[in-house]
Every structure is written in C-alpha cells, then in structure tokens.
Amino acid sequence: VLTTPETVLTGHTEKIYSLRFHPLAADVLASSSYDLTVRIWDLQTGAERLKLQGHQDQIFSLAWSPDGKQLATVCKDGHVRVYEPRSSPLPLQEGPGPEGGRGARIVWVCDGGCLLVSGFDSRSERQLQLYIADALAQGPSALLGLDVAPSTLLPSYDPDTGLVLLTGKGDTRVFLYEVLPEAPFFLECNSFTSPDPHKGFVLLPKTECDIQDVEFARCLRLRQTSLEPVAFRLPRVRKEFFQDDVFPDTAVTWEPALSAKAWFEGANGQPRLLSLQPPGMTPVSQAPREVPARRAPSSAQYLEEKSDQQKKEELLNAMVAKLGNREDPLPQDSFEGVDEDEWD
C-alpha cells in the first residue's frame, strides 16, 4: 500500500482533472485542472516548467502527439486546441469541437497526422469526430454517430494496426474501428459484447499479445468483483507463419528516449522499436506459395475443350449404341409369306 508520496507538485488552484505522461521524455508530466490551465512538470525537480492557457471552460481531455512535440486538448467551451508547449503558452491551432457539453476525449491517430475526438452531439448521441491535425479550423473531416448512452466513450488507440477501441463505464459493448486519414475514414470491425457491464477497460502493451495465435489486441476488463482478460484475434489460415503484415515493429513505450532536462531544452527523441517475431517462425511474406490442388474439369469445361469433329463422332457413336447392332434382322424378315395359289 502506497502511503507516502515521493514528490508533491503544487501549482494548480482548483481540482485536477487529468494527467498524461510524455510519450518519450522521462519524468515529464502534463496535468489539466478546473482552473482552466494545463501545466507541465519536471518530476526530477518537482517544478512546474510550463503553463498553457486559452481555455474558457472545463478541459475534458488532453493528449501528447506521438513525437511529443505537441499537446492537444478538447474543452467544454466547444473547441479543440493544439499547443506547442515549448514555443508558446497559447494554442497553435483551434477548431470547433463536439456540440454537447457532457464530456469528451481526444487521442492522436494516423501516425500523428489526425486527431480523434469522442463526445456527444446536441441530442446526446455519442459520436466520433476526425480532424486533420494541422487544419483544425476547417472542422472535422469525418463524423460518425454511434448510439445514445450516458457514459463518455474512452478511446484506446493501437498505432500498429490503426485500430481504436471505444467503450464507456457501465457499457456492455466495445466498439472497434480502423481509422483512416482519408475516405471512408472509419471501417467498422467486429465489436465485443459482454452480458454484464464493465467499470473499466484498458488496452495492454502489444508485447502481452499471443502473436502465434494472431492476437492483435489484449485488454483488461474491470467487472464488479473481478478483472477479466479480453483478446481480439484475426482469423488466418497459415498460423504456422509470423503474420508480419499484422505485426510491424512496435514502439518500446516503457523506456524513455531522452531526459526531462533534454526535452525542456528543445531536444526530441525517437522510440526504440521491437520486433514481435517469435523465434523460429518464418514471416508470412517469405512463406512459399501454396500450389492449388488440381481439380477434375467440369462436364461443361470438358465439352468446351473438345473439337467439333470429336463432338460429332461421340454423338454418332451414342446414337449407334442406342439403336443397337445394325446386323440384327429386320422385323419384316420374320414375316411368313402366303401360298402362291392364294394370289389368284
């Protein structure tokens, strides 16, 4: 049981709403609060280093870009904002967000080129909005309505496959979509449905997946009194091969690429990549091609391959066989004649 904090961060004047660690730099933490600010902390020193402003209402959610250079927020004031924290405390871009004020979440998708926002419309329908990250002012490029429910959809994005899992507290269904930067933008996949509602749902690192069983996502589902694993698999025929089209090298998220000091001084980093190929498995891209089994031709195909002369000969032989042997006596040969005197 944790009872004593290692560090106490002091700065916000109202209740803190969300926390997000930097994806690449060690000990860099962003926090949002009801005081309408986002503050970025150096955990090595316990000091507040940056403060972002410009929000007019509650900050629903924030998210770091995959390269850690930018930070996006979605706010109750109906706006989506993108900041470059090391350059300015004011937003670099701003655009219209969800109409409903009940809650929203934001996540970077498509290699950092787009932003996905889950929220509500004015009729309380849960929906997804997809934005081009460097063109927020144009509004969402795509909008997808899902259902009417009270809980906010919490997105979990897998950058390796481009899939996003969406569910909310108290839901029994997990939506699954492939997100694309161009039309049709959203491709629906098979969803997961449970008989009882869950209280939480989290996506685990790709290293927890059963790669040999083509398991592309593994999650933990919090039930009323238990924790349940949930696996998502892709049906494949040749499971003896490593499916390298499904499992690219994945980012090592548990190792920092640079220090907090280096990041605050303007440096950037790249994550280390890890191969998911199990030992002894050959990539399916290098697998020998399967030779299709030769099938007997159909009767129609068999006739088409014959010449006209062959067809005529077979037809004639069939007629002869049906009529029987032509050397058999004719019916009239068995008739008896009359005596000659009967002709008179």
Least confident range of 128-132, 233-237, 278-282, 312-316? 312-316
Residue 156 predicted with pLDDT over 80: yes
Q: Following DSSP, what letter does each residue of 250-262 receive, concatenated?
A: EE-TTS-SB-HHH
Is residue 341 within a helix (H) or strand (E), and if so which, with residue range?
A: none
* The Cα angle at residue 53 between residues 48 and 58, in degrees rounded to 5: 105
Whether 334 shows a pLDDT value over 80: the answer reads: no
Asked whether the predicted pLDDT for residue 325 surpasses 60, the reply is no
Tokens found for residue 301: 């195909």
Rounded to the nearest 5°, which phi and psi values hold at 187? -115, 115
CA 291 → CA 30, 237, 286, 288, distances in Å? 56, 15, 15, 9
Whole-Å CA distances, 121 to 12, 99, 117, 125: 30, 5, 12, 5
Looking at per-residue pLDDT, the higher value among 84 and 191 belongs to 84
CA 24-29-34 angle, 5° bins: 140
pLDDT of 126 above 70: yes
Q: How far is CA 326 from CA 18, 74, 331, in A?
A: 100, 96, 12
> Does residue 108 surpass a pLDDT of 70?
yes
What pLDDT is stored for residue 3 in this prediction?
87
Predicted TM-score (pTM) of this structure: 0.81
pLDDT at residue number 337 = 56
User: 16-285 is classed in which CATH architecture?
Assistant: 7 Propeller (2.130)
pLDDT number for residue 158: 97
Share of the chain above pLDDT 90, in %: 78
Residue ranges per structural domain of the chain: 16-285
Cβ neighbors of 269 (< 8 A, separation 6 or more) are 24, 25, 68, 256, 257, 258, 262, 263
Residue 180 confidence (pLDDT): 96
| 246-278: pLDDT as tens digits | 999 999 999 999 999 999 999 999 999 999 999
Amino acid at 188: E
Query: Cα separation of 214 and 207, whole Å?
Result: 12
- Spatial separation of the C-alpha atoms in residues 247 and 280, rounded to whole Å: 16
Question: CA-CA distance, 7 to 27, in Å (whole number)?
Answer: 11
